Amino acid sequence: MPQTLVIIPTFNEIDNLEPIVSRVRANVADAEVLIVDDSSPDGTGILADTLAAQDPRVHVLHRSAKNGLGAAYLEGFTWALSRGYETLVQMDADGSHLPEQLPSLLAASAGADVVMGSRWVPGGHIVNWPWHRRMLSQGGSTYSRILLRLQQRDVTGGYRIYTAHALERMRLSSVESHGYCFQIDMLLHAVRAGLTVVEVPITFVERTHGSSKMSGKIVLEAMGRVTIWGLTGQGAVRAGEVPTVATSRRG
């Protein structure tokens, strides 16, 4: 039974999809890939089917509409768990998550339930981001960390590895966020489930093809949700409690 699955959600990523899949397969030869396409009008889904026809380790899950990154990942997780995969990787299609760094993240997963590729721990880097993007991302992580009492540094990053055991303990049916806040929501579930979370430094590279799905409205919506969680006591550790999660950082 296959063990490692790299889940790559797509929407209008026709210029990026083939190179990223090729790089994943080159760097982790025994991993399989699941492309979750949200009915991309640019033909990304058709290209995904072509790649799957050429390589038995590439699979495609077609969704009928663009319903958010979180919903795509949750459907991908369900698909993977029902087929017995043991290690599930989250990776963007736009090249910002380097497949060349996946072996080091997988190595870290041997001693952790959740591995987070982190831009904000020692050794982490960002390439080709303007200062305002850097401030927005780092500020969002800091705000969420403080309000939700999270120990991790990069709470919004999307380059992650979850074990099947971790996902089964996280009660995915209660994850409500489907947009930018999804990564924070998932981390919150992991920490509150008492899972071991490790951050590994990565280099995050701004996309060179296609357009970002990020917008100010999406960020504000996420921060609003985080604020509600914080004010209603839904943080990882409530006041007066002792953290149950074992967290370590490498880098």
List of residues 6+ apart from 224 with CB closer than 8 A: none
Extract the tokens encoding 6: 């790299």
Task: Find out whether 9 and 213 touch, Cβ atoms under 8 Å.
Answer: no
Q: What is the pLDDT of residues 68-83, one digit of tens each?
A: 899 999 999 999 999 9
DSSP 48: H
- Where exactly are the structural domains of the chain? 4-238
Provide the phi-psi class of 171: left if phi over 0, else alpha when psi is between -120 and 50, else beta.
left
Question: What sign has the CA pseudo-torsion 102, 108, 113, 117?
Answer: negative
For residue range 100-144, list pLDDT tens digits in order: 999 999 999 999 999 999 999 999 999 988 877 788 788 888 888
Structurally, at CATH architecture level, domain 4-238 sits in: Alpha-Beta Complex (3.90)
d(CA 71, CA 176): 9
**Structure tokens of 250?**
């490498």
pLDDT, tens digit (0-9, with 9 covering 90-100), for 134-187: 887 888 888 889 999 999 999 999 999 999 999 999 989 889 887 778 999 999
